[in-house]
Amino acid sequence: MSGQPGRARVLVVGAEPFRATTGSGITLANLFAGWPRDRLAQVYTAAAEPSTEVCSRFHRIDPRSSPIDHYGRRFLSRGGSPWGQADPAIGAIPVSAGAPSSARLHAELRALADLSPLRVAGPLVEWVRAFRPDVVYSMLGSVRIMRLADRLAECSGAPLVPHFMDDWPATLYASGELLGYGQRSVRRHLDRVMRRCVSGLCISDEMAREYERRYDRPFAAFANCVDESAFVDPVDGRAEPGALRLSYVGGLHLDRWAVLRQVGLALGELPGDLPRPRLTVHAPETDLVRYRDRFADCPQVDLGESLGGAEVTRALAGADVLVHVESFRAELRRYTRFSLSTKIPQYLAAGRPVLAYGPGELASMRHLDAAGAAVVVGVESRGELRHALERLCRDGALRGRLAHAGHAWARHHHSKDQVARAFAARLAEVSAVPGPVPERTML
Lowest mean pLDDT among 25-39, 79-93, 219-233, 237-251: 79-93
The predicted pLDDT at position 67 comes to: 73
* Average pLDDT score over residue span 295-309: 92
Query: Which of 364, 362, 365 has the alpha carbon at shortest distance from 333?
Result: 362
In sequence order, what are the residues at sequence separation of 6 or more whose Cβ sits closer than 8 angstroms to the Cβ of residue 274? 243, 390, 393, 394
pLDDT digits (tens, 9 = 90+) for 258-298: 999 999 999 999 999 999 899 999 999 999 999 999 999 99
Q: What is the pLDDT of residue 439?
A: 54
Q: What is the pLDDT of residues 308-321, one digit of tens each?
A: 778 999 999 999 99
pLDDT category of residue 341 using cuts at 50, 70 and 90: very high
Interhelix angle 396-413/363-371, rounded to 10 degrees, is: 110
Q: What is the pLDDT of residue 90?
A: 42
Q: Is the pLDDT of residue 168 over 80?
A: yes
Please give the average per-residue pLDDT across 375-393, as a whole number. 97
Quick: pLDDT tens for 25-68: 889 999 998 999 999 999 999 888 888 889 999 999 988 887 77
- pLDDT score of 88 more than 50: no
What confidence score (pLDDT) does residue 66 get? 79
C-beta of residue 273 within 8 angstroms of C-beta of residue 351:
no
User: CA 75 to CA 79: how far, in whole Å?
Assistant: 8
Distance (Å, whole) CA 438 – CA 31:
29
Report whether 55 contacts 64 (CB < 8 A): no
Q: Is the pLDDT of residue 443 over 70?
A: no
Instruction: Report the distance separating Cα 148 and Cα 128, nearest Å.
Output: 12
Q: How far is CA 320 from CA 226, 246, 249, 434, in A?
A: 20, 6, 14, 51
Nearest to 147 by CA among 42, 249, 66, 237: 66
Q: Which of 323, 408, 337 is nearest to 366 (CA)?
A: 337
Q: What pLDDT score was predicted for residue 239?
A: 55
Residue 204 pLDDT exceeds 50: yes
Confidence band of 85 (pLDDT split at 50, 70, 90): very low
- Asked whether the predicted pLDDT for residue 4 surpasses 50, the reply is no
Task: Identify the residue with better confidence: 344 or 109.
Answer: 344
Coil, strand, or helix at residue 243?
coil
Residue 340 has pLDDT above 80, yes or no: yes
**What is the spatial distance between Cα 329 and Cα 335, in angstroms, rounded to a whole number?**
10
- What pLDDT does residue 83 have? 45
* Cβ-based neighbour number of residue 389 at 10 Å: 26
Q: Which residues contact 69 (CB under 8 A, 6 or more apart)?
A: 63, 88, 113, 114, 116
pLDDT averaged over the chain?
89
DSSP letter at 99? -
- CA-CA distance, 219 to 210, in Å (whole number)? 9
Question: What is the pLDDT confidence band of residue 77, given thresholds at 50, 70 and 90?
Answer: low
| pLDDT of 435 | 53
